[in-house]
Amino acid sequence: MPRRVLLIAYYVPPAGGPAAQRILQFIEHLPDAGWDVDVLTVREGAYPNRDPSLLSTVPDSVTVHRTPSFDPIALYARLKGGDEDDIPAGSLGKDESSLLEEVARWIRANVFIPDARVGWWPFAVWQGRQLLEQEGYDAVVSSGAPHSVHLIGRSLHRTADTPWIADLHDPWTDISYYDEFPHTRWAKRIDAHLERSVLKEANAVTTVSPSWAELFATKAENRYGVVENGFDSDDFEAVQPALSDDFVLAHVGKLYASRNPRGLWRALARLRNDGRIPTLRVHLTGAVDPAVRRSIAQHGLTPIVTVDDFVPHDKALRRMARSTLLLLVIEQFAQASGMITSKLYEYLASGRPVLGVGPSGGDADALLRRHSAGEVVDWGDVDRMTELISTHYEAWKQGDPASGAAWTDIQDHNRVHQAERLAEQLNAVSAAAS
């Protein structure tokens, strides 16, 4: 008989974006690995992205339990006079001319610990305790960011002693935007204590990259495993590469101010001013921070750049496949070497080559080089960026554009295999608890 797991997650469809894709990876494929899934999530989430089309991908066999929540992020957006499209992801942004912005940032950093979704904690614990008592799950998985979901998992584990895996998509107190917030000394201590308690008390911890598994291991002794974000092979069955008449350098996903690839804009401006890329176009799909737009304009690139807002997932995949060269941007922060964005796996599956801007020699760079799909160039290495773009452009102009990863070589990264990795961890913690 299949065993049963209760998956606790905030970003469940109709939420969109990469976090929702990781949750779908588990609920779609864990049953084939011997674990039936029920989901505990929020009823009305404060989602930066919504993609209602993803609701149809949730299997009928999965029961989704939704609870109320107090979401200060949604309240913040309304106070600013906006709507759900103004809900930020992670950081609240920074506008020094706004007193509301400064007050909101202080409250976010020092009241809502570990994050602004912590208002869901009491509602989810109440519902989760009932579910554990009534349904008799064999294990619990908390999957986030937001990291407050792991406090829910911890509370349920303490109550029922059900085996529990904490699945962390991102670092906690080392997350890229952590230092943007005006934490007090006591807030930092509380947050670090919560992080250590989760890492220590969970029966196992999973994360998305080897470097981040090593990072967490320095904070608490435990069983650590890597479960990649992966890609859905079925999503690419209907996606046929069809290159544009122009050379298209494309980025799919949000470009935050912290991910502004200034070195890339300098490289493109140099090539354009030299007349070496007359038909190159830059397509950005997803929200683009005003700071990034200003940087593009300052380098005289506005005429060759097009920006489209968030699009449904299937359309985003088609845009990847139609591109000549895909752009990956990793922000600069202390733990950037472990950053492997979920989009990188879909970039690989699209068959298009990738130019990364980030930590050369990091985990993303190793993944690209392993599959001969591109490389990650250091943020300030404008010469190398110029060289790579020029090489790709010349090959395309000659009618022989470079290809990306080979489909048969990347199947170990598909979602089926990643769900099997999580199932292995579930099997281990449930066996140890028997």
**pLDDT digit string, tens, across residues 7-52:** 999 999 999 888 899 999 999 999 999 999 999 999 988 888 888 8
Span 263-292, average pLDDT? 95
pLDDT attached to residue 70 = 86
Please provide the average confidence, as pLDDT, over all residues in the chain. 91
Q: What percent of the chain shows pLDDT beyond 90?
A: 74
Cα separation, 85 vs 353, whole angstroms: 32
Span 261-274, average pLDDT? 97
pLDDT attached to residue 310 = 75
Q: What is the pLDDT of residues 146-198, one digit of tens each?
A: 999 999 999 999 999 999 999 999 999 999 989 888 999 999 999 999 999 99
Span 403-422, average pLDDT? 96
On the question of a common fold for 3-229+414-433 and 233-410, the answer reads yes
Strand order in the sheet with 204-207: 63-67, 35-42, 3-8, 139-144, 164-168, 204-207, 224-226
Which structure tokens are listed for 292?
A: 């990034």
Cβ proximity of 267 and 385 under 8 Å:
yes
pLDDT at 244 over 80: no
CATH architecture of residue range(s) 3-229+414-433 = 3-Layer(aba) Sandwich (3.40)
pLDDT attached to residue 313 = 79
Residue 394, amino acid: E
Per the document, the length of the chain is 434
CA 269 from centre of chain:
30
Please name which of 239, 199, 433, 411 lies closest in space to residue 321, comparing C-alpha atoms.
239
Cα separation, 288 vs 368, whole angstroms: 25
pLDDT attached to residue 236 = 85
Span 406-429, average pLDDT? 96
Cβ proximity of 236 and 349 under 8 Å:
yes
CATH architecture of residue range(s) 233-410 = 3-Layer(aba) Sandwich (3.40)
Q: What are the structural domain ranges in the chain?
A: 3-229+414-433, 233-410
Which structure tokens are listed for 177?
A: 């935007």
Strand stretches in 201-344, DSSP E: 204-207, 224-226, 247-252, 280-285, 305-308, 325-329
Which structure tokens are listed for 251?
A: 């980025």
pLDDT at 88 over 50: no
Residue 376 bridge partners (DSSP): 356
Task: Of 64-73, 243-252, 378-387, give the range with the top mean pLDDT.
Answer: 378-387
Cα separation, 177 vs 237, whole angstroms: 36
Q: What is the pLDDT of residues 98-149, one digit of tens each?
A: 677 788 788 888 999 999 899 999 999 999 999 999 998 999 999 999 999 9
Please name which of 167, 109, 155, 99 lies closest in space to residue 131, comparing C-alpha atoms.
155
Cβ proximity of 41 and 64 under 8 Å:
yes
What predicted TM-score, i.e. pTM, was given to this entire model? 0.91
pLDDT attached to residue 77 = 60
Cα separation, 177 vs 93, whole angstroms: 10
pLDDT attached to residue 86 = 42
β-pair type (247-252, 224-226): unpaired
**Can you say whether residue 161 is alpha, beta or left, with left for phi > 0 and alpha for psi between -120 and 50 degrees?**
left
How many Cα atoms within 13 Å fall on the side-chain side of residue 157?
Answer: 28
Cα separation, 282 vs 57, whole angstroms: 31
Q: What is the pLDDT of residues 306-355, one digit of tens each?
A: 999 878 778 888 899 989 999 999 999 999 999 999 999 999 999 999 99
Q: Phi/psi at 368 (nearest 5 deg)?
A: -65, -45
pLDDT at 93 over 50: no
Which structure tokens are listed for 431?
A: 């066996």
